[in-house]
Amino acid sequence: MSKVGDLEPDPSVIGNIVKPPFVRLPDPKQLFIDRARRFRALADGHDLAAYLTFLADLSDAQAGIQDSLPEPEMPPAGNLARAREHRMPPLDRSRFTADAAFDATLERLLAAADAIDMPAAAREALTRLRQAEAAIPTMIRNALDDTIPIESLAEHVFVAAALQVHFARMAQRLDPTQLGPVGDGACPACGGAPAASLIVGWPNAQGSRFCSCSLCSTLWNYVRARCTVCGKTEKISYQEIEGGAGQVKAEICESCGSYSKVLHQHKNNALDPVADDVASLGLDLLVRELGFRRGSVNLFLLGY
């Protein structure tokens, strides 16, 4: 592993650069189509090929079930103004209850998952989930609270995948001009933690950093060299696998002892905050050996 410098300047303060947008809301169907494609590309020759291929198929299912889903129940109009006034996300995950749209999403996802070629343990978990309807509300709450029991990780993967679809569909329906910061490392749409952050190459945002929500996939602008967990800017450094291409790095914060991944999407537009996070698990293991804890959330890396 090699250390890659210390503080990097935030390009948004450099002259002649247009201020980037604060948020970019997800396109739910295209999001999962692109993610499936990236998982498949990463699986080729990878030590985690079987798992990455399974997640590619699951991402395809997430994209394929969306046509003609019921409209999700959105918060009342007045809630958005109150949420902005009090710096709170309008999609309150702490108060989420399944509506008809989510029920249909989960039902379709489980049906689509039946056709996926998966390891025996995952197949058994899918069967248990289908037989444990009464436990689903608890699983939903576990996934939203990031408190998933180790003994039922596999079942929760399917529930989490349905929640990703549902919350992405809700986030898409928000007005981006009405969203504002709600705290370090918190999605301005749903309050979720980032899976990773991206250094983008978009027009009018070249070199800017965006965190990617692990739940709804909203992207929000964030200072380049600032910890997404504690918000501090000092004692930040970057690590990557020795001989890496400089596309996936771990941002380490010595102030709070945490790390999260930064993907240099401006170098490779195909990088995906969920897929590339899973595929770079080796970087997690090495950084953890240095004594740092993971400060981000990936619903497909449960248990790590």
Task: State residue 4's pLDDT score.
Answer: 41
Which residues have CB under 8 Å from 15's CB, separation 6+? none
**How many angstroms separate the Cα of 188 from the Cα of each of 95, 180, 192, 285?**
16, 6, 8, 30
- CA angle (193 as vertex; 192, 196 as ends), nearest 5: 130
* Angle ∠(262,49,61) on CA atoms, nearest 5: 80
Beta strands in 244-297 (DSSP E): 248-253, 258-263, 293-294
Domains of the chain, first to last:
2-24+177-294 (3.90.1670.10), 49-175 (3.90.1670.10)
Please report, in tens digits, the pLDDT of each residue of the chain (304 residues total).
544 433 344 444 444 456 899 999 999 999 999 999 999 999 999 999 999 999 999 999 999 999 999 999 998 888 878 888 888 999 988 889 999 999 999 999 999 999 999 988 899 999 999 998 899 999 999 999 988 888 888 999 999 999 999 999 999 999 999 999 998 889 999 999 999 999 999 998 999 999 999 999 999 999 998 999 999 999 999 999 988 889 999 999 999 999 999 999 999 999 999 999 999 999 999 999 999 999 999 989 876 6
CA distance 284 to 2: 14
* Reported pTM: 0.91
Angle between helices 28-43 and 153-172 (to 10 degrees): 140
User: Could you tell me which residues are beta bridge partners of residue 219?
Assistant: 24, 212
CA angle 60, 137, 83 (to 5 degrees): 85
- Reference 263, options 298, 293, 292; nearest CA is 298
What angle separates helix 49-64 from helix 153-172, to the nearest 10 degrees? Answer: 40
Phi, psi of 287 (to 5 degrees): -70, -35
